[in-house]
Amino acid sequence: MVNTAETTSAAAASRTGAAAGRARIALIGTGGRSEMYIRAIYGTHADTAELVGFSDINPGRVEFYQKLILELGAPGPIASFDPADLTAFIQANSIDRVIVTTPDYTHADYIVEGLRAGADVVVEKPLTISAEGCRRITRAAQATGRNVVVTFNYRYSPRNSALKEIIQGGVIGKVTSIDFSWVLDTVHGADYFRRWHREKKNSGGLLIHKASHHFDLVNWWIDDVPERVFASGGLQFYGDQNAAERGLGPRPERGTPDADAPAGGKDPFALDLREDERLKALFLDNEHYDGYRRDQDVFTGGISIEDNLALVVEYQGGPRLSYSLNAHSPWEGYRVAVNGTEGRAE
């Protein structure tokens, strides 16, 4: 079974089919998001979950988290394993649940492998980046009887839960249409264009990586299923061509200068990893293992995702959704309006 919501990511990770004892957890992917799970397992959920081992293609990041768990009170280092050995690790260590926090394009492979090896799986959104990946995961879940949880936690924001109650309570009557606008500022929004997300083959683009949260909300609010989707998008702000059109001139390939250059600067779009202790330790200090650069310049070439997107969605029950996403706004937030036969909720 594939579920699309849990109260918290860590709560999802700590649940298991075992009648008693702590869930035995294996985590694959030790980038920035994994820290949320690790801190929760050694904190709030220490009584219900045990982190048995973790894995990454970058041994430096694994070592970063080995040090962190000692700071969090672990009695000693835990096991680490090669991602290629996931099945063997699950079966040799009686793993109840695998947490997947790897780049989006790898999700389907690790989910399917985890299920077939006998574990339940918690995965960061999105579930995967392709329809075929979804089909593979569904088939594996059905064949094994194991569970997959996608951590769509936006449902549990108080305002989102309140809107659900208003709609389902019939306060505005039958829903006829939804207007949903989400804007990312040039701090948060720009960051997607520095990281691996900037290539669509890795993330599926912001409609999948980011907006999957928003589509899940709408589907949940109105308790309906999309039937037809019309979508359009483009790269209109970031990237080398847009920079050239605005006269920004040549750009460096990355935000972190050479080691002997002074720190700091006035470029609001440059990320100097040396200025953030955590980012430096997690990414800059470990580049030599895999070549991954966390601070690519947002106005260089190689970006294949969109920064402006618009959709019209028709639902089986009749409502229409008008949705837009902008990734270079001067402010960040969202506006939602739900129209019904008896009123409007905003």
Average pLDDT over residues 225-242: 98
Q: How confident is the model at residue 266 (pLDDT cuts 50, 70, 90)?
A: confident
CATH topology of domain 2-151: Rossmann fold (3.40.50)
Residue of higher predicted confidence among 1 and 323? 323
Residue 1 pLDDT exceeds 90 = no
Residue 289 pLDDT exceeds 90 = yes
pLDDT digits (tens, 9 = 90+) for 158-182: 999 999 999 999 999 999 999 999 9
Residue of higher predicted confidence among 267 and 304? 304
What's the pLDDT at 263? Answer: 56
Opening angle at CA 150, ends 146 and 153, nearest 5? 140
pLDDT digits (tens, 9 = 90+) for 5-48: 554 455 555 544 443 589 999 999 999 999 999 999 999 999 99
What's the pLDDT at 337? Answer: 98
Token duo for residue 339: 């129209």
Q: What are phi and psi of 111, to 5 degrees?
A: -65, -50
What's the pLDDT at 339? Answer: 99
Residue 255 pLDDT exceeds 90 = yes
Q: How confident is the model at residue 260 (pLDDT cuts 50, 70, 90)?
A: low
Where are the domain boundaries for CATH 3.40.50.720 in the chain? 2-151
Q: What are phi and psi of 148, to 5 degrees?
A: -125, 130
What's the pLDDT at 18? Answer: 45
Distance (Å, whole) CA 288 – CA 319:
51
Q: Euclidean distance between the first and final Cα of the chain, in Å?
A: 33
Distance (Å, whole) CA 174 – CA 343:
9
Question: What is this structure's pTM?
Answer: 0.91
Task: Report which of 230, 224, 229 is spatially closest to residue 175, judged by C-alpha positions.
Answer: 224
What is the overall mean pLDDT for the chain?
A: 94
Distance (Å, whole) CA 56 – CA 211:
26
Task: Report which of 55, 66, 60 is spatially closest to residue 93, judged by C-alpha positions.
Answer: 55
Three-state helix/strand/coil letters over the chain: CEECCCCCHHHHHHCCCCCCCCEEEEEECCCCCHHHHHHHHCCCCCCCEEEEEEECCCHHHHHHHHHHHHHCCCCCCCEEECHHHHHHHHHHCCCCEEEECCCHHHHHHHHHHHHHCCCEEEECCCCCCCHHHHHHHHHHHHHHCCCEEECCHHHHCHHHHHHHHHHHCCCCCCEEEEEEEEEEECCHHHHCCCCHHHCHHHHCCHHHHCCHHHHHHHHHHHCCCEEEEEEEEECCCCCHHHHHHCCCCCCCCECCCCCCCCCCCCCCCCCCHHHCHHHHHHCHHHHHHHCCCCCECCCCCCCCCCCEEEEEEEECCCCEEEEEEEEEECCCEEEEEEEECCEEEC
What's the pLDDT at 10? Answer: 54
Residue 81 pLDDT exceeds 70 = yes
Distance (Å, whole) CA 197 – CA 202:
6
Where are the domain boundaries for CATH 3.30.360.10 in the chain? 155-239+303-345
Residue 141, C-beta contacts closer than 8 angstroms, at least 6 positions apart: 1, 2, 115, 147, 148
What CATH superfamily is the domain 155-239+303-345? Dihydrodipicolinate Reductase; domain 2 (3.30.360.10)
Distance (Å, whole) CA 224 – CA 92:
42
Token duo for residue 4: 């699309």
Task: Report which of 283, 264, 229, 230 is spatially closest to residue 64, judged by C-alpha positions.
Answer: 283
Q: How confident is the model at residue 4 (pLDDT cuts 50, 70, 90)?
A: low
